Structures are given as structure tokens and as C-alpha cells.
Amino acid sequence: MKPKVIVYKKIDTTVLAYLSENCEVTYFETLDSQSLPSFYQELKNATGIIGSGLKVDAKLLDLAPQLKVISNISVGYDNLDMPEISKRNIMATNTPEVLNDSVADTIFGLLLATARRMPELNQLVKSGGWTAQVGEGLYGVDVHHKKLGIIGMGGIGSAIAKRAHFGFDMPILYHNRSRNTEAEQTFQATYYSLEELCQQADFICLMTPLTPNTVKLIGEKEFKLMKKTAIFVNGSRGATVDEDALVHALQNGEILAAGLDVFAQEPVSPDHPLLGMDNVVTLPHIGSATHETRLKMANLAAESLVIGLQGKMPQTLINQEVFAEVQ
């Protein structure tokens, strides 16, 4: 008998076909007020679930007593209550590495767009406001040869450093839980404390995972340490930044500008003060959102789910200690 699996996210038909070959699949393109009751009902007999964004906590797990594998189509897994999942000997997987380059492209593009004020100037042209030579009031700032500070030198942070070092001759400063000797050797990156990085960098990219230790990692103290000419870019999670402190820093000229792909509440409220600032460039959390990369992520997640349900250890298993327990 095939294991019963629930898909709770729209995925490519090829991925769905692969899952259907190996599992009995119940498919929800999205979870909303109409589909949630059916989803909860299906959880009773599910041995695996696959999707993204769903909060998986004790309350949900109580509805799924047969669950063996959770496959998260994302590199981040702050939506998963890992202690509770591990306590129940359920394997959880994510999709690291395959999205590194796509996210790095997005974040570096956001950095460039913010520095050179591209969205603002694009709107100027399209609205008919370009009636004369652009004056100093609309100038941006150079990116090349400026100091780039990366907070979180993991796979994505390293991919950003690669673009900055080889493409823009930017000195790389970084802060991480541990030293990244490969980044130091390959990109001549220099390790700094968080405080020193904030003081020294011209551009600051926040790329840490969301954990209890990184909630509001960047706040009033850190913004006050930054240069008045600094540009802050957040490509991690919205909750890693104190948004009120960011608003204050921008309004009071403590930093020059910000580029944001993430917000504390998503979708962000249209009346959020950050959305009314010309010196803030915003994106709707689309770091990995290309057709190619999302397909790679879904394929990896599906393969991890099937492997886990076959009693084997997925390469992307987050809680590897659980595998030993279930053997």
C-alpha cells in the first residue's frame, strides 16, 4: 500500500506526477477557509505532508498521528516547531543550496536598485516627469568598491559575496555564528563583530535564518551605529529586524536607504510607513521566485519526502537525530 501524502501548495505537474507514482496523494493548491476543514480531516491518516508556509506546531501535529515526514519547500523552516516535531520522531526536511544563486541575484539586484534609485526613477520616466536633465536631487550612490557587510555567511550569503567580490570589487565584511574560512579564502572576507560591521560597512545585507536568537537582531542600537550613508538590505525574514527602529532610522537620516524583500507581517499592510518612503525599495518576498528555481525546490522536497517515507535518510534532513530513533 502506498503511503498517504498531502500536498498543500501548488506545484508543477511533473512533481505531482512523481509523488503520485510513489504515494497516494491528496492535493490542495492552497489552504484557505474553504479547504482547511478538508485538509485537517485528511491529516488523520497522512504519513507525509509537503508544502511551504504552514505553521506546523503541536496543535496541528495532534491531528496527524500517523505523520512520519514533513517536507518544507523552503530553505527556512521557522514555520516548523522543530522541538515538537523531533519529540514525536517525525523527520523534517527543507530545500537548501538549490536556491542560493537565485536568492543572491534578487538580493544583489535589490541592493543595486536601492543604491541607484531605480524604482523611483522608473516611475519618474513612466509618469512623464522626465522633462529635463536629471539633477543632483535624483542621483544615487556608487556600489563598486564600497564595503559590503553580510550578516549570515551561509550558502546565500556566500553567493552574494561572490557577486560583490568578483563583479564589483567590493571588500567583504561578515558576521556569522562561526568563522567561514572558505569565504575568507575565496572572497578575502574579513570577520567582524556585529557592532564593528555596522560601523564599517557601506552596504549591510541581513541574511540570517530566523531563530529565537535572531528575532529583532537589527534594531535601534545597530541602526545608530551605521553610517549615515549606509544602505540596509534585508533578505532574511522580517522578524529579524525591529521595523519601528528601521522606520525611525530612515526618517531621522541615521541611514540613507533600505531595500526589503521581507516584512514582519506578510503581505505587508498597504499603510505601513515603510511603503510611503522614496528611499525604501520593496519586494514581495520573491527571493527564490523564478520558474527554474521553484521547480528545483519542489523536486528536491518531493524526493526527500519519498526517500523519508521509504525509511531512508533524506540528504536534506533537518533533525538527523530523529532518523536514528526511527530505525
Indicate which residues carry an active-site annotation.
237, 266, 285
Q: State the Rg of the chain over Cα.
A: 22
Cell numbers representing residue 102 in the block: 537565485
Residue 32's CB: how many other CB atoms inside 10 A?
Answer: 9
Q: CA angle at residue 52 from 176 to 36, to 5 degrees?
A: 145
Torsion 311-315-317-321 (CA) sign: positive
Check: CB of residue 225 under 8 Å from CB of residue 198. yes
CA distance 17 to 303: 12
**The length of the chain, given as a count of residues:** 327
β-bridge mates for residue 150, sequence order: 174, 205
Residue at grid coordinates 499603510: 271
CA-based nearest residue to 8, from 38, 34, 39, 37: 39
- Helix 100-115 with 291-309: angle, nearest 10 deg: 150
- Helix or strand or coil: residue 137? helix
CB-based burial, 64-73: b 16+ in 10 Å, e otherwise = beebbbbbbb
- Helix or strand or coil: residue 278? coil
Check: CB of residue 78 under 8 Å from CB of residue 211. yes
- Determine if residue 21 is left, alpha or beta; phi over 0 gives left, psi from -120 to 50 gives alpha, anything else beta: alpha
